[in-house]
Amino acid sequence: MIEYTTYEHDVLVIGAGGAGLRAAIEASAAGVSVGLICKSLLGKAHTVMAEGGMAAAMGNVDDRDNWKVHFSDTMRGGQYVNNWRMAELHAKEAPERVRELEAWGAVFDRTKDGKILQRNFGGHRYPRLAHVGDRTGLELIRTLQDHGIHQGIDVHMEVTVISLLKDGDRVVGVFAYEREHGRFRVFKAKAVILATGGVGRAYKITSNSWEGTGDGHALAYHAGAELIDMEFIQFHPTGMVWPPSVRGILVTEGVRGEGGILKNSEGKRFMFDDIPDNYKAQTASDPEEGWRYTQGDKSANRPPELLTRDHVARCINREVKAGRGSPHGGVYLDIAWIKEKLPNASEHIKKKLPSMYHQFMQLANLDITTTPMEVGPTTHYIMGGIRVDADTQASTLPGLYAAGECASGINGANRLGGNSLSDLIVFGKRAGEYAAQFAKENGHGSIDAAQIESEAKRALEPFDREGGENPFVIQNNLQDVMQKLVGIVRLEDEMKEALDGLAKLNERVSRSSVTGNIDFNPGWHTALDLRNLLTVSEAITRSAIERKESRGGQFREDYPDKDPAFAKFNVAVREVDGLMQISHEPIPEMPAELKAVIEEMG
């Protein structure tokens, strides 16, 4: 008999990033009992790392902005395979959600007339990102955390969920262990919300923390829910490349927003060479115009450095492959050059980009106010995830909801910077609201003791084996496979090789073992995370093979062009009899009003 403690909540939220916290606050405000589970301590989730800002068409800086422009920017950025209803709701509701943060104590940077300041970001037509220097994620998570702790939410910190419990089709709870002593816990819930974030740890070079192992994606998948768009991974163009230990750590797009430019080893500003047709009309025609844009000139178009991330990342990749890279395999990002334009440039940079200044000074011994940075693409975000209903965030399983990065739809093939933080609060709120409603309308389901028994047994297996491989080594190998074979530039043969590689890794995981006891044992935790990483890696790879075209986050060297036939559906995966099944989910026709909006915005 396995020992465990049982907890009961009306709504159970898994994940305490922006999405999970916002959902928990909403559900508890609706009057149901709420539990909140997270792998780390409260306030440490990935959201804390977000830098640049959150996108909301408040029009504080440029009054030409409104939800229609934001909506059409999001759709264009996503290459029109987004869930248009989500993009619409997001654009309409983000301003209200941001203002609400202010009412809860957030302190955003201000405009001259005392309103919330907004900054430029790639793919957004007008200055749209509410921000606090370059630590916006910290402001968001702390505001929600400090508001949430007074709401009577039961927080279970350093607890990891390892499976969803089901009663028939319906999700009725979760099975978890607490990290401190490895004890098992069962949580019964009338409704469960997944808000577990991303999958960046499937890749070697990533901006994501250890938590980004795709747990929510994998939990939902193994419970029978559908995932869509898993081929669409965002490689952020600017991660640190040197020294090796910081490879992948993010350099915010805000650097380019403040006037930073990209150059190759020949000193050439290469982004002007390759501007996609559908962005030509909105892009600066020369460096001077680009500079004026970053300084708030409303008549100027944006510099090509601020084109969408997928495009900029590929251009950098091309420069490096063509032998025009920096010494450590990146290109140069130069903000120091603005001293030609501004008298007190050095102070200005430190004020606008304090944590970037800090990060390079401390980790790379480099002063960004005098010296260009070396940067290269880093795995950053997954557009794909759990398929949800746009209005309610309900997954394809009753009782299961999803919000934030682990849910899918709003971003289509590519996410615009700043659209994640706003996504978290818009859809976190909706998930909380509808999950609470579901919990009011339904009683608790019944928990299957046999399922608990078998999950616990599986979780403890690595302790029973002796002399097996160290899980950290396997995780490293997995990251190599995905980085090399399913990265920025993809080929069918390589991806098939990746599938073989993943199958072998799966074998190795089943023979891995852990040493030491069960108390706070990172080796064991990693062994359990590996299953999730393997599941999402397989989903990414199979979906990428299925989409035989290039679009947004997916670039296929063997199919380098966009194919209109692939604009009509999302690639979906589902577990059927233990195997991954691929299908095409047709994208519903956009209503006439929204089509008109897109046409109007050009």
Partner 1 sequence: MVDYRTEVSEGMVVLDAVHQIQAESAPDLACRWNCKAGKCGSCSAEINGKPKLMCMTRLDTIDVTKPVTIEPMRAFPPIKDLISDISWNYEVKKRIKKFKPRPPDAADGTWRMQQSDIDRVQEFRKCIECYLCQDVCHVLRDHVKHEEFIGPRFLVYSAALEMHPLDTEDRVDELKDEFGIGYCNITKCCTKVCPEHITITDNAIIPLKERVVDEHYDPLKKLVKLFRRK
Minimum distance from residue 399 beta carbon to ligand FAD (Å): 17
The only residue of 418, 462, 552, 553 in contact with ligand FAD, by rule CB under 6 A: 418
Q: Do 169 and 181 touch, CB atoms closer than 8 A?
A: no
Q: Is 159 helix (H, G, I), strand (E, B) or coil?
A: strand
Residues 102-141 interacting with partner 1 (rule: CB under 8 A)? 102-105, 107, 109-110, 113-116, 132-133, 135, 137-139
Catalytic residue check, 314: no
| Cα–Cα distance for residue pair 7/188, rounded to 1 Å | 6
Q: Is 277 exposed, middle or buried (0-12, 13-18, 19+ CB in 10 A)?
A: exposed
The only residue of 2, 29, 42, 491 in contact with partner 1, by rule CB under 8 A: 42
Tell me the residue type at 334. Answer: D
In this complex, which beta carbon is closest to partner 1, that of residue 279 or of residue 472? 472
DSSP state of 441: H
In this complex, which beta carbon is closest to partner 1, that of residue 7 or of residue 84? 7
From the list 125, 179, 256, 531, the catalytic residue is: 256
Minimum distance from residue 137 beta carbon to ligand FAD (Å): 5
The only residue of 6, 285, 446, 517 in contact with partner 1, by rule CB under 8 A: 517
180 near partner 1, rule: CB under 8 A? yes
Binding mask 488-517 for ligand FAD (x = CB under 6 A): ------------------------------
* Secondary structure of 171-206 as H, E, C letters: EEEEEEEECCCCCEEEEEEEEEEECCCCCHHHCCCE
Catalytic residue check, 9: no
In this complex, which beta carbon is closest to partner 1, that of residue 103 or of residue 565? 103
Minimum distance from residue 472 beta carbon to partner 1 (Å): 4
Residue 180 binds which entry of ligand FAD, partner 1, none, CB below 5-8 Å type-dependent: partner 1
Sequential DSSP letters for 282-303: TB-SSHHHHHHHHTT-TTSPBP
Residue 119 pairs in a beta bridge with 129
Q: How many CA atoms lie within 13 A of 174 on its CB side?
A: 31
Q: Do 263 and 270 touch, CB atoms closer than 8 A?
A: yes
Token reading at 468: 């097996």
| Cα–Cα distance for residue pair 15/217, rounded to 1 Å | 12
- Asked if the bond preceding 377 is cis, omega within 30° of 0, the reply is no
In this complex, which beta carbon is closest to ligand FAD, that of residue 21 or of residue 439? 21
The torsion of the CA quartet 95, 101, 106, 110, rounded to 10 degrees, works out to 20
320 near ligand FAD, rule: CB under 6 A? no
Residue 197 binds which entry of partner 1, ligand FAD, none, CB below 5-8 Å type-dependent: ligand FAD
526 near partner 1, rule: CB under 8 A? yes
Minimum distance from residue 427 beta carbon to partner 1 (Å): 22
421 near ligand FAD, rule: CB under 6 A? yes
| Cα–Cα distance for residue pair 353/597, rounded to 1 Å | 35
Give the C-alpha distances (Å, rounded to integers) separating 189 from 144, 157, 178, 473: 23, 17, 18, 36
Range in contact with partner 1 (rule: CB under 8 A) among 18-26, 45-53, 530-538, 575-583: 45-53
| Cα–Cα distance for residue pair 394/443, rounded to 1 Å | 17
In this complex, which beta carbon is closest to partner 1, that of residue 364 or of residue 572? 364
Residue 160 binds which entry of partner 1, ligand FAD, none, CB below 5-8 Å type-dependent: ligand FAD
Residue 405 binds which entry of ligand FAD, partner 1, none, CB below 5-8 Å type-dependent: ligand FAD
Residue 192 pairs in a beta bridge with 12, 400
Minimum distance from residue 8 beta carbon to ligand FAD (Å): 17
Binding mask 25-54 for ligand FAD (x = CB under 6 A): ------------xxxx----xxx-xxxxxx
250 near ligand FAD, rule: CB under 6 A? yes
Residue 35, C-beta contacts closer than 8 angstroms, at least 6 positions apart? 7, 9, 11, 12, 13, 153, 154, 155, 156, 187, 189
| Cα–Cα distance for residue pair 589/593, rounded to 1 Å | 12
Give the C-alpha distances (Å, rounded to integers) separating 557 from 233, 235, 288, 491, 545: 16, 16, 34, 6, 12
- For β-strands 184-194 and 400-402, DSSP reports them as parallel
Give the C-alpha distances (Å, rounded to integers) separating 137 from 143, 478, 515: 10, 29, 36
In this complex, which beta carbon is closest to partner 1, that of residue 209 or of residue 395? 209
| Cα–Cα distance for residue pair 210/105, rounded to 1 Å | 29
Binding mask 133-152 for ligand FAD (x = CB under 6 A): ---xx---------------
The only residue of 33, 326, 521, 570 in contact with partner 1, by rule CB under 8 A: 521
Q: Where are the alpha helices (DSSP H) in 79-196?
A: 84-103, 136-148
Residues 79-138 interacting with ligand FAD (rule: CB under 6 A)? 136-137
Q: Where are the alpha helices (DSSP H) in 309-365?
A: 309-321, 345-352, 354-364
Range in contact with ligand FAD (rule: CB under 6 A) among 163-171, 209-217, 329-337, 538-546: 209-217
Tell me which H or E stretch contains 504.
helix 492-511
From the list 125, 128, 236, 415, the catalytic residue is: 236
Minimum distance from residue 574 beta carbon to ligand FAD (Å): 20
Residues 200-259 interacting with partner 1 (rule: CB under 8 A)? 209-211, 242-246, 249-250
Phi and psi angles of residue 34, each rounded to the nearest 5 degrees, phi first: -130, 135
The only residue of 7, 11, 13, 17 in contact with ligand FAD, by rule CB under 6 A: 17
| Cα–Cα distance for residue pair 582/499, rounded to 1 Å | 14
Binding mask 486-515 for partner 1 (x = CB under 8 A): ----------------------------xx
Token reading at 472: 């950290």
Residues 385-414 interacting with ligand FAD (rule: CB under 6 A)? 404-405
In this complex, which beta carbon is closest to ligand FAD, that of residue 196 or of residue 479? 196
Residue 453 binds which entry of partner 1, ligand FAD, none, CB below 5-8 Å type-dependent: none
344 near partner 1, rule: CB under 8 A? no
- Site residues (vs partner 1, CB under 8 A): 40-46, 48-49, 99, 102-105, 107, 109-110, 113-116, 132-133, 135, 137-139, 142, 146-147, 149-150, 157, 180, 209-211, 242-246, 249-250, 355, 358-359, 362-364, 470-473, 476, 514-517, 519-524, 526
Residues that bind ligand FAD (CB under 6 A): 14-20, 37-40, 45-47, 49-54, 136-137, 160-161, 195-198, 207-208, 211, 215-216, 250, 381, 404-405, 417-421, 424
